[in-house]
Chain A
Amino acid sequence: MTDSVATAESASPGRAELAGLFRDFIDPEYVIDDEETLRPYECDGMSMYREMPMLVVLPETVEQVQRVMQICHRYAVPVVARGAGTGLSAGAMPHAEGVVLSLAKFNRILDIDPLARTARLQPGVRNLAISDESAQFGLYYGPDPSSQIACTIGGNVAENSGGVHCLKYGLTVHNILSVEMITVEGEKVVLGSEGLDSCGMDLLALVTGSEGLLGVITEVTVKLLPKPEKAQVVMAGFDNVQNAGDAVGGIIAQGIIPGGLEMMDGYAITAAEDFARAGYPRDAAALLLCEVDGTAEEVQEHIEQAENLFRSFGATSVRTSQSETERALLWKGRKSAFPAVGRISPDYYCMDGTIPRGQLAHVLTEMQKMSEHFQLRVANVFHAGDGNLHPLILFDANVPGEFERTEAFGSSILELCVEVGGCITGEHGVGIEKIRQMAVQFRDEELAQFNALKAAFDPAGTLNPGKGVPTLRQCQEYRAIKPQPQPMEA
């Protein structure tokens, strides 16, 4: 590891000694130090990156979290906070000399206030459980990342998670009121309040999406939204991507902000249809799913407009859901796109760039060229409303050199995203996976400012070291080697 962990005030205790310190106040069973039980923690959802931690602890109270942090701070032991481990950038990959602080025991919904439309949550509450529990009050929680069955609100805050409804309902940062955070020193602070705006600089926004580098979240208060009266989805097939992209622009220009607006390319359509049998047009080069929600009157007005508009942009097929069952079926294909693609390839690598929507056709064309160059297939799933592209590169990890080629392909895609005015990650975070591409999106002065900002929270650099923001040395190394793509197989 190249990250610097400041010298401890006293020599760092070994694994057994540290485990002993934690077992003084944490159920001994929840202090894990044996190889076999540590193993599941060696990676998160980004399983290509692995590291065995020194220890895993699963505290059950905020006071225990504080004491863990105090001890780690005293000995300058790295701390990697972990929620459900569904992250896709290796943000929760352990540190070899560090402690994984799992928030899995913090899984209680503390309070739902139906009148104020808020919910107070422990960080390990699953994203979907918030909406499930709120449904009895006609409320739900807006952000719905694809992993919402498993991912937790603490991780959502750390990554500023999005989902398919971001364009209209925003990201995590737009849907939380406050967090309780334990600082690296083990102090408890509250950022934000039960009001909408707090005085002074917006620390709540700063901590959202900070990937566990600034503190450990122990409680989150979220806003809840009234469940729309009605939602309907229009599916439109197009025989070329340009028309589909233009149709997305057309919807926006019409003044309609859809609840969800998703696009899939030919490869993804076929894979999803084989898997979900949703009735997608197999011969289409691009498919749009446009969901309109709101009052019954509003949905009817906008659905008619959307149908006509898609036809005027050359849609080869248009179908509108006539029931909740049909709506769910049309979404099923999209929501299962990743596993569906997984069926046609031994492995796939999910990218997460964002681009200005107008660049879509250009980016897809360039990506096709790269696909030929790297000799790897790519399927595209696109949050078209907000410009977040998820190319899925298909590869076989058992073929020597293929993952390296996949990484190089992915790297080229992210660089293209930056080149056209976008960025390297829309919702998955930088973690370790994209740390090198940070040097493409930011200049040294900006990275230095990020590192200075980090030091304001964590002077010794023990919170999730090696993630999120590269050191300037890492950047120089990356820039020096960048122009050489991995060689083709011999």
Chain B
Amino acid sequence: MADQSKQLQDQILAARQAGTKLNITGGNSKTFMGRVAEGEPLIVGEHTGIVNYQPVELVLTARAGTRLDDIDAALAEHNQMLYSEPPRFGGSATLGGTLACNQSGPARPWTGSIRDQVLGIRLLNGAGEHLRFGGQVMKNVAGYDVSRLQAGAMGTLGVITEVSLKVLPRPAASVTLVQDMPLEDVVGFMNARAAEPKPLTAACWLDGKLYLRLSGARSAVDATADKWPGEIREQGDAFWRQLREQELEFFQGDAPLWRFSVKSTAANPGLDGPWLVDWAGAQRWYRGDASLADMEALAIAAGGQVSLFRGGDRQGEVMHRQPDALKQIQQRLKRSFDPDGLFNPGRLYSWM
């Protein structure tokens, strides 16, 4: 438990004075994401501790450097969970980094993303001001939603120092069903399942097999598992954990890893190579060399966007490119939070 906000603030003010840039780090679990980092390290990973946790309110507040593992442990005591299932990346992932990179797991289409869980934040802006946005209650529409704006901003708008989250009870029961299915059938099948009022909480396809997870009340899970085809997989939770942590064989090796966030029903892009379909079709992973421009065309055809998630050329752009009007808005937004461009220069886009 350590409140480092004063030290972080001092470092920002010093950097501003000296004209140096800052590279915000947490648990160093996501250094592979975004473009190559520049600047002196600003270490948020020691700004840790759960500040407030009210299980009955379903709200937890923790400093940004708190490891997700520590939050899991606190939640588990009250049978609650981080329902967006963000990756822990070997235990070093922090709450602030998870929000900044908008990382969520297999349950995302059903229970929501880390961005959906967020209720409020504290943030150090480029002037070193320690600001508070949102709150610790479920509903709050006072002021702009600066908290959720941070999701995916990769620290370019400021240093997240504290996050308040909605948490939920763990499901009472969980069952994983597995069946064989070719890639061309899987997207339609997954979406048809997702359109039924059943306790589906994950749907993934890999190597000719479809994996569905049912979770919720024991009676609902059992009744649905009886009705739907597929073999029950023992220790199904291990599969979903490995998927979330990118520990499956699919994710190993050095080939560039591309992430497509697309319309769930879109036909799979006609690109040979290894694919993994998650989120009932809304997230597709591809391994292989390609140019961002070529991948963007495929993503647009599928109603979404693409990013070069891991590996490949990280000097060039790695995120789906933005139209000019949005580029200008984002540059102006950046200046409104960080007028001197201190934070994570070039990490998200070369032009920011």
B132–A252 CB distance below 8 A: no
Given A117-B194, A167-B138, A445 and B263 contact (CB-CB distance below 8 Å): no
B143–A426 CB distance below 8 A: no
| 1/0 contact string of A19-43 vs chain B (CB within 8 Å) | 0000000000000000000000000
Interface-facing stretch out of B41-49, B201-209, B326-334: B326-334
Given A193-B261, A298-B199, A429 and B141 contact (CB-CB distance below 8 Å): yes
Determine the residue in chain B with the shortest Cβ distance to A434: B142
A252–B194 CB distance below 8 A: no
A422–B141 CB distance below 8 A: no
A201–B262 CB distance below 8 A: no
Measured between beta carbons, the chain B residues less than 8 angstroms from A424 are 142
Task: Please report the C-alpha to C-alpha distance between residue A330 and residue B339 in the assembled complex, in whole angstroms.
Answer: 55
Measured between beta carbons, the chain B residues less than 8 angstroms from A294 are 197, 199, 216-217, 220
Task: Please report the C-alpha to C-alpha distance between residue A201 and residue B56 in the assembled complex, in whole angstroms.
Answer: 31
Interface-facing stretch out of A99-107, A315-323, A354-362: A354-362
Please pick, from A197, A253, A301, A445, the residue contacting B218 in the complex, using a CB distance under 8 A.
Answer: A301
- DSSP class of A's interface residues: helix, strand, loop or mixed? loop
Please pick, from B57, B220, B261, the residue contacting A197 in the complex, using a CB distance under 8 A.
Answer: B261
Given A138-B195, A445-B129, A198 and B261 contact (CB-CB distance below 8 Å): yes
Measured between beta carbons, the chain B residues less than 8 angstroms from A419 are none
Task: Please report the C-alpha to C-alpha distance between residue A461 and residue B254 in the assembled complex, in whole angstroms.
Answer: 50
B57–A357 CB distance below 8 A: yes
Task: Please report the C-alpha to C-alpha distance between residue A429 and residue B139 in the assembled complex, in whole angstroms.
Answer: 11
Measured between beta carbons, the chain A residues less than 8 angstroms from B108 are 196-197
| 1/0 contact string of B298-329 vs chain A (CB within 8 Å) | 00000111010000000000011011011001
A208–B219 CB distance below 8 A: no
Measured between beta carbons, the chain B residues less than 8 angstroms from A453 are 144, 146, 333, 336-337
Q: How large is the interface on A (under 10, 10 to 19, 20 to 34, 35 or more residues)?
A: 35 or more
Task: Please report the C-alpha to C-alpha distance between residue A469 and residue B145 in the assembled complex, in whole angstroms.
Answer: 12
Verify if A166 is at the interface (C-beta below 8 Å from B): yes
B196–A455 CB distance below 8 A: no
Measured between beta carbons, the chain A residues less than 8 angstroms from B349 are 200
A201–B152 CB distance below 8 A: yes
The interface centre, meaning the residue of A139, A167, A193, A443 with most chain B CB atoms within 10 A of its CB, is: A193
B326–A196 CB distance below 8 A: no
B326–A358 CB distance below 8 A: no
Task: Please report the C-alpha to C-alpha distance between residue A206 and residue B141 in the assembled complex, in whole angstroms.
Answer: 11
Verify if A425 is at the interface (C-beta below 8 Å from B): yes
A195–B333 CB distance below 8 A: no
A183–B136 CB distance below 8 A: no
Measured between beta carbons, the chain A residues less than 8 angstroms from B260 are 195
Determine the residue in chain A with the shortest Cβ distance to B158: A449
Verify if A116 is at the interface (C-beta below 8 Å from B): yes
B79–A205 CB distance below 8 A: no
B336–A456 CB distance below 8 A: yes
Given A252-B58, A356-B137, A116 and B191 contact (CB-CB distance below 8 Å): yes
B169–A257 CB distance below 8 A: yes
Within 8 A of B (CB), among A171-190: 171, 173-174, 183, 187-189
B136–A202 CB distance below 8 A: no
Given A170-B116, A203-B326, A209-B144, A193 and B137 contact (CB-CB distance below 8 Å): no
B139–A162 CB distance below 8 A: yes
Verify if B210 is at the interface (C-beta below 8 Å from A): no
Verify if A308 is at the interface (C-beta below 8 Å from B): no
Task: Please report the C-alpha to C-alpha distance between residue A209 and residue B143 in the assembled complex, in whole angstroms.
Answer: 8
Verify if B113 is at the interface (C-beta below 8 Å from A): yes
A426–B144 CB distance below 8 A: no
A298–B265 CB distance below 8 A: no
B129–A430 CB distance below 8 A: no
Determine the residue in chain A with the shortest Cβ distance to B324: A187
Measured between beta carbons, the chain A residues less than 8 angstroms from B169 are 252, 255-257
Task: Please report the C-alpha to C-alpha distance between residue A4 and residue B124 in the assembled complex, in whole angstroms.
Answer: 28
B332–A229 CB distance below 8 A: no
CB B248 to nearest CB in A, in angstroms, measures 20
Determine the residue in chain A with the shortest Cβ distance to B112: A174
A297–B223 CB distance below 8 A: yes
B188–A354 CB distance below 8 A: no
Nearest 9 pairs between A and B by C-beta?
A: A195-B304, A194-B303, A205-B148, A297-B219, A195-B261, A426-B139, A255-B169, A456-B332, A298-B220
**Residues in B lying within 8 Å of A, measured CB to CB:** 54-59, 79, 102, 104, 108-109, 112-113, 115-116, 125, 129, 131-133, 135-146, 148-154, 156-157, 168-170, 172, 188, 191-192, 194-199, 216-220, 222-224, 260-266, 279, 282-283, 303-305, 307, 319-320, 322-323, 325-326, 329-330, 332-333, 335-337, 348-349
**Residues in A lying within 8 Å of B, measured CB to CB:** 113-118, 137-139, 159-160, 162, 166-167, 170-171, 173-174, 183, 187-189, 191, 193-203, 205-206, 208-210, 214, 226-229, 249, 252-253, 255-257, 294-295, 297-298, 300-302, 354-358, 383, 385-388, 421-430, 434, 438, 441-443, 445-446, 449-450, 452-457, 468-469
- Apart from A166-B138, A201-B156, 13 more pairs, CB < 8 Å: A116-B264, A118-B263, A195-B282, A195-B283, A197-B152, A198-B152, A198-B304, A198-B320, A206-B148, A300-B219, A421-B136, A423-B140, A456-B329
A sample of 27 inter-chain contacts (CB < 8 A) reads: A114-B195, A115-B192, A115-B195, A137-B195, A159-B141, A170-B112, A173-B145, A187-B325, A193-B303, A195-B305, A197-B152, A199-B152, A206-B144, A206-B145, A206-B148, A226-B195, A295-B217, A295-B223, A295-B224, A298-B216, A357-B56, A388-B138, A422-B137, A423-B142, A443-B131, A446-B132, A452-B336
